[in-house]
Amino acid sequence: MEEKYLYQLAEFVLPSDVLHYFSIVKIESDTSLLRIYLDEKIEKELSDDLHFESKGFMDAVEVTDFPIRDHKVILVLRRRRWIDIRTGKSFSLPLQIDITASGTR
């Protein structure tokens, strides 16, 4: 039950729909900085298709978000890299999300 409330709290703290596409994998904090690490979730349709294979992650991107309780907030986002086994081409899925909403960099 507590996990449900933590998820709900994360939905309020993070930019809209982030948890639809990403999972929180780590959080680091000190006296002035909160760093939230997010990895793109595996797309079920692609993982079930034998023609596509997840090949790890692209380089992480850091997004400065709104401060929380006097802590600078950095979102560290890692997008998943996919490969089409038939063609050998790698790609990432388009996201229907605006991570850099008004007020972020």
Q: Which tens digit of pLDDT belongs to each residue from 57-88?
A: 999 999 999 899 999 999 999 999 999 999 99
Task: Record the pTM.
Answer: 0.83
Tell me how far apart the alpha carbons of residues 2 and 50 are, in angstroms, rounded to a whole number: 37
Tell me how far apart the alpha carbons of residues 76 and 39 are, in angstroms, rounded to a whole number: 8
Q: Which tens digit of pLDDT belongs to each residue from 13-44?
A: 898 889 999 999 999 999 999 999 999 998 88
- Residue recorded with tokens 């959080």: 27
